[in-house]
Amino acid sequence: MTNETLPKTAKLTLGDHAIDLPVMVGTAGEVAIDIRQLRAKAGAITYDPGLGNTGACLSKITFLDGEQGVLRYAGYPIEELAKSSHFVEVMWLLLHQELPSAQQLAQFTHDITYHTMLHEDLKRLFSSLPKAGHPMAVCAAAVGALSTFYQTAGNQTHEQNWIDAIRLLAKMPTIAAYSYKHSIGQPFMYPRNDLSYAGNILHMMFATPCEAYEPNPIVARALDLLLILHADHEQNCSTSTVRTVGSSGANLFASVSAGISALWGPLHGGANQAVIEMLMSIRDGKRTAREFMELAKKKDSGVRLMGFGHRVYKNYDPRALILKQACYDVLGQLGKKDPLLDIAIELEQIALNDAYFVDRKLYPNVDFYSGIIYKALGIPVDMFTVYFAIGRMPGWISQWLEYQADPEARITRPRQVFMGATPRPYQPVEKR
């Protein structure tokens, strides 16, 4: 059925009652049934655990087709952006859904560069936290604390939202680096205005006051690529969290702090750390890759295959294809060889030729190869998800801004199907 022959309404019959529900078609052809009047007209709601079939918003930012393995930012294929663009330009693209002019990009880059420093008082927050604390918890706390330093946040005028967006995009790498420096007991390194966005991250992470440090351009470019690939991914768990918190009127810093906490979960952004830990367990254990995959097929084995499969993609994750090649390129340029990459390739080949994984459409996702690159760049394992958060920041902010500008936006308030006890009288404790 084509768009031209698609009916304008869908008929729902509930008992003897029939209602017509409007049919919507997105610009990429996705069909949706508008159920906003369902409860009012039919006295019923939908039941959709995990909201996998629910369109919660209209968006112009990111499109993905999980069946075909397609990902586009504002219409631009991720493959082209990964090859030709850079992260700061992608930030602007997500925020405006258009590529910047040379003048716009220069001004935007300047604004980001000159907002990277943190208020000196914020340093006390880092020093008050345990060094062994996970850096994602530290980052969530620090981003939330920005609301206390920028108390005009939350006015939600266009001008205020823009300066808050600039501040957050600029300061997130500094917060991330400070969380790492605190964990290892090294002094914080101030950002440098002469470095690129990715180069500055590396400087703040790895430089010390003892000697001069210049970021390796190969490492900086590889990091920039990772940030581009992480920049947005439609209505995932953390993005929908940012939108949900923002729907209450919470300011940008509070909303993104919640998104960082959501990203931390091992089923979301924390998966790249889990992949590396899985690969290391195979390398250091007594099982071969094939033995591991056989155990992964058994539900009661306690062995779980990480980095394969995706809630939306039922084809090869296009970001994983880019990163697979990037693994070879980066390791080759750095003159490194990592046995974890060999194990990863073997796991992938087994999965692609095993009916169990093929039938379940379990293809490598972005987390499967990103951890190998992070490891090659010298990024500590517990910082992998923090770098994911740096990359996802423009996506979160763009989605939050889009929600604030949406005339149909309402506070997020899902319904439920109650399955508990029916009305019953209260009994005093002595009669129970």
Catalytically active residues, by annotation: 310, 367
Nearest alpha carbon to residue 22 among 41, 43, 37, 1: 37
From residue 187, give the alpha-carbon distance in Å to each of 238, 262, 308.
Answer: 31, 29, 38
Q: What is the 3-state secondary structure (H, E, C) of 8-40?
A: CEEEEEECCEEEEEEEEECCCCCEEECCCCHHH
Residue type, 242: V
Measured between alpha carbons, how far is 422 from 412 in angstroms, rounded to an integer? 27
Measured between alpha carbons, how far is 193 from 114 in angstroms, rounded to an integer? 7
Tell me the residue ranges of DSSP E strands in 28-173.
31-33, 62-65, 70-73, 76-77
Find the DSSP H helices in 128-191: 135-149, 158-184
Q: What percent of the residues of the chain are helix, what percent strand, and what percent coil, each to the nearest 5?
A: 55, 5, 40
Measured between alpha carbons, how far is 169 from 188 in angstroms, rounded to an integer? 19
What's the angle, vertex CA 337, arms to CA 335 and CA 342, rounded to 5? 150
Nearest alpha carbon to residue 233 among 43, 396, 109: 396
The residues with which 62 forms a beta bridge, in sequence order, are: 73
Measured between alpha carbons, how far is 190 from 32 in angstroms, rounded to an integer? 49
- Note whether 282 and 289 are within 8 A (CB): yes
State the Rg of the chain over Cα: 24
Measured between alpha carbons, how far is 232 from 118 in angstroms, rounded to an integer? 25
Measured between alpha carbons, how far is 29 from 26 in angstroms, rounded to an integer? 5
Instruction: Give the tokens for residue 207.
Output: 């430089």
- Note whether 187 and 181 are within 8 A (CB): yes
